[in-house]
Chains A and B, each alone.
Chain A
Amino acid sequence: MKRIFTNARVILPNEDQPKTGSLNVDGDRIAAADDEPGEEIDCKGRILAPGIVDLGVFAIDKPAFRFGGITRAALMPDQSPVLDLPAMIKQSAAEGKPDLWSHPIAAATIGLEGRHMAEIGLMKRSGAKAVATGRQWIADSGTMLRLLQYCKSLDLPLIVHSEDAGLTHGAVATNSETATRLGLASAPPAAEAISIARDIALVRETGGHVHFRQVTTLDGLDLIRAAKKEKLPVTCGITPAHLLLSDIAISDFRTFTRLSPPLRSEDNRLACLEAVKDGTIDVISSGHDPRGPEDKRLPYAEAAPGMAGAETLLALSLTLVRDGTISTGRLFELLSANPAQILGVEAGRLQSGYEADFILIDEDSPWQVDTRKMAAAAGNTPFDGLPVQGRVTAIYKGGRAY
């Protein structure tokens, strides 16, 4: 059954700007443009973009994902229990279907404790598309080396958290005037660059692909920029929080701003924007981690890190287009094409033969972020009260509207 989505502004691969026209869909796949007739669906001039592939969420939260235009989500292994066995991967991969595809990420080590390698090969067979160190880094460089060798042989990317725990242990903020005023334990931002530098050295050694899930400092980004110049297989990501907020946002002890890595100085924030612009950053993801009052209505240092980011991901990312940092086409490379490519799934691009995962967007539609009215399992957003623009008006997974 062929359908033609007409009167749309389509985000096509390798195009900066949306192209007015139509998209052909045959069953659950995108079809090549042709003159054959089919059922026509009028998109009323909306942007038709690839569904967002959210790389590295901490919960499968369908209402939030639907609101946010997310059609695929790669689930971090930091679950209870940890995703460190093939059976858990298999079960988790089935969760969410048919309207949302979950790609569980295999834990690199048993219990994410950083010591014994988990059964990565068997987890790949069960559906794991990537391996991750979870919320923490692996301190032992020998373990890390062997993991990377192993991931390389299985052709899986290793997703890492870049903070040297020797420096960040117990810290809840980055070293800054704000942290000192609040009396919060803080760590030097160099904790990030130190861990990135080590992992780049190991990439050079092994040829394995490392994806740095969140890079938030100028020095860390410089290292990745240089590694890319060297053609090393490294990629990196960020969340809108580190692009739009600096550490000043933690004033008043608002625990919704407690993130890991922590919000950085304004200098670092500007460096992150620059890195989005120049292509150093490959992925923008939500880091979706809904946390209720039991985790957040606590003194700052006792609160769990993390933000509910899924439903604000698109609207906040669109501000980068509106302020001229990037083009609309480039935005969907960051949100959809690149994360899909890292996971090795045929999605994230409106390309013939790929899964027909796409969304319609009214990019000007205004709304206000309101922690009390969120679709997510919890409303822990540091953007509470912020007026934003851009809404998903329809979401299609495998050619079906949901």
Chain B
Amino acid sequence: MTSQQTGSPHQFPTGSDAFPHRHLLGIAGLQPWEILFLLEEAKQWVDLNRKSSKHADRLDGLTVINAFFENSTRTLLSFEIAGKRMGADVVNMHAAQSSIKKGETLIDTAMTLNAMKADAIVIRHGSSGAVQLIADKVDCPVLNAGDGSHEHPTQALLDALTIQRRKGDISGLTVTICGDVKHSRVARSNIYCLTTLGAKVKVCAPPSLLPAALDRFNVEVFTDFDQALEGSDVVMMLRLQNERMNGNFIPSPREYHYLYGLTRERLARASDNALVMHPGPMNRGVEIDSDVADDPDRSAIIEQVEMGVAVRMACLDILTRESRGVEGWS
């Protein structure tokens, strides 16, 4: 499975040179070898997670706070499990039960979390740039678990790891991303990640859900899904948020399905054995048909979830190496 490009660890720069960043706020700006290093590090955790005893002690005694200002089930769970498997004490803070509801500003909340001496803070927020705003104010590493329409870096990393495992080298693959690109942080992070790793990326969306100036992102832009699928090795579907379906951006879910839904028939336009991905949760029958989503030979959707835990374990490990005094990192 390991290809030449992904390489073995000794090909990466040593110590913190392999990933010289304090936070993980986005994929934009990362070097290809930095992304590959994170993926390489994640592989050991994939193996651990498949054992019956899934415990590592690297983060023993460390406190990880998951501060989620926007509702999330799977990402929060994934980060919580990742932290716990690494031995950290994990605390979850939900917006619904936080003082945000009482009018406290984001900065005040950040300062409060900081005063509690977290060793890493994982943040999800509904507003683009909010995670960076907090990262600038706290003393520990910050992981972006999704901010507005900006970035969702661990999602792109878990997607890349999934693709690597199923397709080998990402360089040279053709990946089609389809859906609400305009509002999607998953799309942005994946565009950066995949183009940085040398994939050819095609992006497809209804014209009302395409962001401005997408042609400046080193991708091919389509509004016709059938055309966008031609020759694709990977088809990455995005979730269509319910609030976009009410006539403001698209006329109706059934029209969306007609034009942009991934059906078995449509998938035939892609390469043989093209891989189907979705960040979840899916709107079955809207952006993706069940028989495609549930086809174990074609769909990697469940594997994506599995890779998510491993990737997040790797990120927590790497970002805390400096504070843990790991040789070469402090």
A interface residues, Cβ below 8 angstroms from B:
175-177, 179-186, 188, 252-253, 293-294, 297-302
* A181 engages B188 (CB within 8 Å): yes
Is the CB–CB distance between B213 and A253 below 8 Å?
no
B150 part of interface (Cβ distance < 8 Å): yes
Q: Which of B28, B127, B151 contacts A299 (CB 8 A)?
A: B127
> With contacts A299-B127, A300-B127, A300-B128 known, is A183 near B106, CB below 8 A?
no
Contact present for B148 and A299 (CB under 8 Å): yes
Chain A hits for B125, CB < 8 A: 299
A294 (CB) vs chain B CBs: closest residue: B105
For the complex, give the distance between the alpha carbons of A253 and B133 in Å: 8
Q: How far is the CA of A180 from the CA of B219 in the complex (A)?
A: 14
Contacts of B32 in A (CB 8 A): none
A298 to B185, CA, bound (A): 19
Main secondary structure of the interface of A (DSSP, over half): helix
Q: How far is the CA of A217 from the CA of B149 in the complex (A)?
A: 26
Nearest CB in chain A to that of B134: its residue? A299
Closest-by-CB residue of B relative to A175 is B212
B127-157 interface bits toward A, Cβ cutoff 8 Å, 1 = contact, 0 = none: 1111011000000000000011111000000
Determine the distance from Cα of A182 to Cα of B129 in the docked complex, in whole angstroms: 7
Pick the contact of A179: B130, B151, B212 (CB < 8 A). B212
* A6 smallest CB distance to B (angstroms): 53
Which B residues are CB-close (under 8 A) to A253? 128-129, 132-133
A177 and B151 alpha carbons, distance in the complex (Å): 15
Extra 12 A-B pairs, beta carbons < 8 Å, given A183-B185, A188-B212, A299-B148: A179-B213, A180-B211, A181-B188, A182-B129, A183-B149, A184-B128, A298-B105, A298-B106, A299-B127, A299-B130, A300-B129, A301-B148
Q: Determine how close the nearest CB of chain B comes to the CB of A384; give it in whole angstroms.
A: 15
CB-based nearest B residue for A252: B132
Shortest distance from the beta carbon of B127 to any chain A beta carbon, whole Å: 4
Interface size of B by CB at 8 A reads 24
Cβ–Cβ contact A181 & B132, under 8 A: no
Residues of B within 8 A of A302 (CB): 127
**Would you list 9 pairs from A and B whose C-beta atoms are within 8 A, ordered by A residue?**
A177-B216, A180-B216, A181-B28, A183-B188, A186-B211, A299-B128, A299-B129, A301-B128, A301-B129
Q: Scoring B residues 97 to 129 as 1 if CB is less than 8 Å from chain A, else 0, what string do you get?
A: 000000001110000000000000000010111
A44 to chain B: closest CB distance in Å? 45
Q: Is the CB of A301 within 8 A of B212?
A: no
Partner of A180 from B133, B148, B213 at Cβ < 8 Å: B213
B213 in complex: contacting residue of A175, A252, A298, CB < 8 Å: A175
B214 part of interface (Cβ distance < 8 Å):
yes
Q: How far is the CA of A185 from the CA of B107 in the complex (A)?
A: 22
Q: What is the minimal beta-carbon distance from B292 to any residue of chain A, in angstroms? A: 28
With a cutoff of 8 Å between Cβ atoms, the chain A residues found around residue B151 in the complex are: 183
- CB pair B128 A180 closer than 8 Å: no
CB within 8 Å of A: which B206-241 residues: 211-214, 216-217
Give the chain B neighbours of A186 by CB distance below 8 A.
211-212
A181-B28, A183-B149, A253-B129 given as contacts; is B105 within 8 A of A297 (CB)?
yes
Compute how far the CA of A301 lies from the CA of B151 in the bound complex, rounded to whole angstroms.
15
The docked-state distance in angstroms from the alpha carbon of A180 to that of B221 is 14
The reply to whether A297 and B127 contact each other, CB–CB distance below 8 Å, is no
When the two chains form their complex, are residues A297 and B107 in contact, meaning their CB atoms are under 8 A apart? yes
List chain B residues, Cβ under 8 A from A293. Answer: 107
